[in-house]
Amino acid sequence: MKISLICLGFFLIFFSGCPSSVPVSTEHSETTEQGSKIGPNLAVVAADPERGFRLSPVAIQFLQIKWSPLASGPVFSVPESSIVFYQERTGVYLQDEGWFRLIPVRTLAFSNSKTTIESPQLKPKDLVASEGVGFLRVTELELSGESHSAHAH
């Protein structure tokens, strides 16, 4: 119930627009099919099928999205909170120059709130979301139109 109320508040505040007194990014998306879900005064300032989506600095701060760099690879240890289970797959959100994109990973081990993963799409020093991951997933589902028919843990 608590998560549902948080998600509802998130959508009411950020997909409806941020207060005009709060500075947000002025970057625009070229995608018109998303309608009013993307724009300079909204939480999501841009979306791209290849790169993912960008959140405004206000949204990142409000949702407490945090990320950390990966250590040496090709196998990486990430916080358990970084892992997203979706459509019978596992992934992490890569933050690349302000863009968030879900990267499929293979989980190798779980121990002490850490998960060992591997993915050919990840390399040392890549930034992986470690907090606020649920909000990133909800945002991606809402942007794709899957939020009403999909369920992720």
Query: Which domains are assigned to the chain?
Result: 1-64 (no CATH), 66-131 (2.40.420.20)
Dig out the tokens for 20 from the structure: 């005009």
Task: Tell which wins on pLDDT, 58 or 2.
Answer: 58
Give the per-residue pLDDT at 37: 84
Q: 83 in helix, strand or coil?
A: coil
Report the alpha-carbon distance of residue 141 to residue 136 in Å, rounded.
Answer: 9
What are the φ/ψ torsions at residue 120 (nearest 5 degrees)?
A: -65, -15
Give the per-residue pLDDT at 56: 96
pTM for the full predicted model:
0.76
Across 5-150, the runs of DSSP E, i.e. the strands, are 44-48, 52-55, 66-69, 75-79, 84-86, 89-96, 99-104, 106-111, 114-118, 127-131
